[in-house]
Chains A and B, each alone.
Chain A
Amino acid sequence: MTQLPTPGATPAQPPPSEPIPAAAPPRPRWRETLGLLARNPTAAVSAVVLVLIVLVAVFDETLAPDGPNDQDPGRQLQPPSWAHPFGTDEFGRDVFSRVVLGAATSLRVGFLSVAFALVVGTLIGLLAGFYGRWVDDTLMRLMDVLFAFPAVLLAIAIVAIRGAGPANAILAIGIVYVPIFARVTRASVLGVREEVYVRASRSVGASDWRLITRHVLPNAAPPIIVQTSISLAFAVLAEAALSFLGLGPRRPNPSWGLMLADGRGFIEQAWWYTVFPGLAIVVTVLCFNLLGDGLRDVLDPRQRTLMAGGGR
């Protein structure tokens, strides 16, 4: 054993670089995301419908032909007509106007409760997943306790303690969804924190906070985003359920859940009374779900290239 080989031929310095793929036109990332989303028909349609629903909720008073509680005593429980496209209820109120005006209530409760759950749950999941050990044990056991209660029962209990009303409904639904976000986030973080690029970032001196916010959270985000979209769907449903049980927004102000509850008694004579608010819930929930699926695909940078690569 007197000599060892050196690997291969030694190329001249500086070493020849491999060809680098032709430059893609620089585009802001969010625009690219939107562009890709537009190519996914289901998600695109869902997004458009949701935007329309939000617009309806924002401009409800302009769009609604009647006020929420304008009664027309001569025209109770009228079927859909040109004057009342969704018919009228037992007090002769225009169901179309009330569905439009109820959108704001339902969406506000949905968005705010999910926002609460998203922020609190994601933070808990990030800390539990990233630090592990006793932090993980403590936080997740707390989440398990919350999880042990049936969701609606817990929401009812919270509302019962704090009193009925929109603000407490938001808090109740939010608290119910905190453990779901915590679990989804933690599971995702457990995978990401072991990635070599996290260690690589630590090796150049990045702090824990920087690792969490710059590397772990963005890479753990897709399941959280999907969960947000799906939770929005469920939160709209939960708001409806709470209203249905009389624990959410109070009569006579319209909300989709309340309308379902009130229309239930007349379902044999006046199907439109329940069907239209019901449809509003179904369409909103479905769109949030479909958008969630579409976002999951689009937010993955590897799939992003596959999908965007076709035209280049």
Chain B
Amino acid sequence: MTSTTKRQVLVSARGLEVHFPIRAGGLLRRGTGVLRAVDGVDLDVYRGETLGLVGESGCGKSTLGNALLRLVRPTGGTVSFDGAEVTAMSRAQLRDLRRRAGMVFQDPFASLDPRRTVAQTVGEPLEVHGLHPGRQARAARVRELLELVGLDPGVAARYPHEFSGGQRQRVGIARALAGEPDFLVCDEAIASLDVSVQAQVLNLLRRLQRQLGLTLLFISHDLSAVRHVSDRIAVMYLGRVVEVGPAAAVAAEPQMPYTRALLSAVPLPHPQLERSRRRIVLRGDVPSPARVPSGCRFRTRCPDVFEPCPDVDPALQPVGSAPGHVAACHLHGVVGTPVQRERPGEPVDAGDPAR
């Protein structure tokens, strides 16, 4: 499904914030700061699409994915799922949300309960939601799910430690699909698999997405994988979505210096192209999410930093030629909220990476 068909928003985040208090030890446990894992994210996921979410580790991708399903509680902003407000859901509504939205986790060695058989793991959503009641019906459905993900249904009685990483990940996918969800969050779902198995699982996800009409949020730091499966790509940096657009447009004409740097790090398969590839190497490290720079949060490492960057927090604005391509960068015109200072004229926190 591409951007040309009529699009309907399935999941939507507005100003989403997940802040964790940083507590110093000691008797009084005073809060000493705030870790801004997700800090004001606006994002729409359209029904039937695959949205790739990329960014460095620690940029808040996974926290965002978890917050969309309320597996972590947002501290601010809103999330809506098919029109319903996720942050205000009752217990029963939340249970229904978790039937309609599944999650595939990164480490298939950690995400399956070692004491439960494959049938128990895959059948758990059926039990929880009262789907396919009765032993026989449930067992039949579990076999069907195992076949769907390319596993031999005969393995239902086995324990996870008897399987390889790829097979375990298939079990994890079968579990996520058991409740017939509309939306699937794949949180680094292929990151801890062997390269050959990565391709298999990636193709499995693509096939399932087409076959079942799923909406997929594909979280990964692997740009080539994201490019391979996604209709649209969203780039995250330090708790904020900084660029979103059709996958081809973002890959071909990245509009934000961070995206450009990210893309330039991907090796090319063609030797000649690879030789001429120019890498944009960023200076320094990602600032701590506990000390987010003022204004544009990328300015401390940006090769194109200029005067408004520390003073105005950039908003997403239309960029490039493709429709729906947006980026938060002052190079395309200074749009955003001016930074509030405690005292006027006070020098801005430099956020110098050397500090």
Binding site for B on A (CB under 8 A): 1-11, 13-18, 20-21, 23-24, 26, 195-197, 199-207, 210, 214-215, 218-219, 301-302, 305
What residues on B are CB-neighbors of A305 within 8 Å?
159, 161-162
- Given known pairs A4-B223, A18-B166, A196-B107, the reply for A206 and B128 (CB within 8 Å) is yes
Cβ–Cβ contact A2 & B105, under 8 A = no
B217 CB → nearest A CB, Å: 13
What residues on B are CB-neighbors of A203 within 8 Å?
69, 71, 98, 102-103, 176
Q: Is B129 an interface residue (CB 8 A)?
A: yes
Cβ–Cβ contact A199 & B199, under 8 A = no
Cβ–Cβ contact A205 & B203, under 8 A = no
CB closest chain-A residue, reference B269: A5
Q: Is B331 an interface residue (CB 8 A)?
A: no
Contact pick for B125, options A23, A24, A205, CB 8 Å: A205
Q: Which residues of B in the span 177-234 have a Cβ within 8 Å of any Cβ on A?
A: 178-179, 195-204, 207, 222-225, 227-228
What residues on A are CB-neighbors of B207 within 8 Å?
13-14
Question: Taking each of A197, A210, A214, A302, which has the highest tally of chain B beta carbons within 10 Å of its own beta carbon?
Answer: A197
**How far is A21 from B167 in the complex, measured between Cα atoms in Å?**
11
Fill in one digit per residue for B123-140: 1 if any A CB lies within 8 Å of its CB, else 0. 011001100000000000
Cβ–Cβ contact B111 & A200, under 8 A = yes
Cβ–Cβ contact A219 & B175, under 8 A = no
What residues on B are CB-neighbors of A214 within 8 Å?
113, 116, 124
**How far is A102 from B239 in the complex, measured between Cα atoms in Å?**
69
A155 CB → nearest B CB, Å: 33
Cβ–Cβ contact B175 & A16, under 8 A = no
**How far is A199 from B106 in the complex, measured between Cα atoms in Å?**
12
Fill in one digit per residue for B147-162: 1 if any A CB lies within 8 Å of its CB, else 0. 0001110110111011
Cβ–Cβ contact B172 & A204, under 8 A = no
What residues on B are CB-neighbors of A13 within 8 Å?
203, 207
**How far is A195 from B107 in the complex, measured between Cα atoms in Å?**
11
- Given known pairs A1-B263, A20-B155, the reply for A302 and B129 (CB within 8 Å) is no
What residues on A are CB-neighbors of B266 within 8 Å?
4-5
What residues on A are CB-neighbors of B128 within 8 Å?
204-207, 210
**How far is A210 from B127 in the complex, measured between Cα atoms in Å?**
11
Contact pick for A204, options B170, B175, B224, CB 8 Å: B175
**How far is A206 from B228 in the complex, measured between Cα atoms in Å?**
33
- Counted as pairs of residues, one from A and one from B, with CB atoms less than 8 Å apart, the total is 150
Cβ–Cβ contact B251 & A3, under 8 A = yes
Listed by A's residue number, 12 A-B pairs whose Cβ atoms lie within 8 Å are A4-B223, A7-B195, A7-B199, A7-B222, A10-B199, A18-B164, A20-B151, A196-B107, A200-B103, A203-B98, A204-B125, A305-B159
B353 CB → nearest A CB, Å: 25
Interface size on B, residues (CB 8 A): 72
**How far is A271 from B200 in the complex, measured between Cα atoms in Å?**
75
Cβ–Cβ contact A5 & B224, under 8 A = yes
Cβ–Cβ contact A20 & B113, under 8 A = no
What residues on A are CB-neighbors of B155 within 8 Å?
20, 23
Contact pick for B268, options A3, A197, A210, A302, CB 8 Å: A3
Cβ–Cβ contact B203 & A15, under 8 A = yes
CB closest chain-A residue, reference B108: A196
Q: Is B252 an interface residue (CB 8 A)?
A: yes
Does more than half of chain A's interface fall in helix, strand or loop, or is it mixed? Answer: loop
Instruction: Using A20-B151, A203-B102 as known contacts, list a sample of 7 further A-B pairs with CB atoms less than 8 Å apart, ordered by residue number in A.
Output: A7-B195, A20-B163, A196-B106, A197-B114, A200-B172, A203-B176, A205-B129
What residues on A are CB-neighbors of B314 within 8 Å?
none
CB closest chain-A residue, reference B267: A5
What residues on B are CB-neighbors of A18 within 8 Å?
164, 166-167, 197
Question: Taking each of B124, B125, B202, B252, which has the highest tally of chain A beta carbons within 10 Å of its own beta carbon?
Answer: B124
Question: Taking each of A26, A196, A302, which has the highest tally of chain B beta carbons within 10 Å of its own beta carbon?
Answer: A196
**How far is A20 from B166 in the complex, measured between Cα atoms in Å?**
11
Q: Is B260 an interface residue (CB 8 A)?
A: yes
Cβ–Cβ contact B113 & A17, under 8 A = no
- Given known pairs A8-B195, A200-B105, the reply for A15 and B200 (CB within 8 Å) is yes
- Given known pairs A17-B167, A199-B71, A202-B71, the reply for A5 and B124 (CB within 8 Å) is no
What residues on A are CB-neighbors of B225 within 8 Å?
7
Cβ–Cβ contact A14 & B195, under 8 A = no
Contact pick for B151, options A17, A21, A202, CB 8 Å: A17
Contact pick for A301, options B159, B172, B201, CB 8 Å: B159
What residues on A are CB-neighbors of B175 within 8 Å?
200, 204
Cβ–Cβ contact A301 & B124, under 8 A = no
**How far is A203 from B70 in the complex, measured between Cα atoms in Å?**
9
Q: Is B264 an interface residue (CB 8 A)?
A: yes
Cβ–Cβ contact A4 & B71, under 8 A = no
Cβ–Cβ contact B154 & A23, under 8 A = yes
**How far is A210 from B128 in the complex, measured between Cα atoms in Å?**
9
Cβ–Cβ contact A215 & B113, under 8 A = yes
Cβ–Cβ contact A218 & B115, under 8 A = yes
- Given known pairs A7-B195, A17-B151, the reply for A219 and B114 (CB within 8 Å) is yes
What residues on A are CB-neighbors of B151 within 8 Å?
17, 20
**How far is A2 from B178 in the complex, measured between Cα atoms in Å?**
39
Q: Is B256 an interface residue (CB 8 A)?
A: no
Q: Is B99 an interface residue (CB 8 A)?
A: yes
**How far is A13 from B207 in the complex, measured between Cα atoms in Å?**
8
**How far is A26 from B155 in the complex, measured between Cα atoms in Å?**
11
Cβ–Cβ contact B161 & A301, under 8 A = yes
Cβ–Cβ contact B203 & A1, under 8 A = no
Q: Which residues of B in the span 93-111 have a Cβ within 8 Å of any Cβ on A?
A: 94-99, 102-103, 105-107, 110-111
Q: Is B254 an interface residue (CB 8 A)?
A: yes
**How far is A9 from B195 in the complex, measured between Cα atoms in Å?**
11
Nearest 3 CB-CB pairings of A with B = A205-B98, A196-B110, A204-B125
CB closest chain-A residue, reference B95: A205
Q: Is B235 an interface residue (CB 8 A)?
A: no
Cβ–Cβ contact A206 & B124, under 8 A = yes
Q: Is B112 an interface residue (CB 8 A)?
A: yes
**How far is A305 from B161 in the complex, measured between Cα atoms in Å?**
8
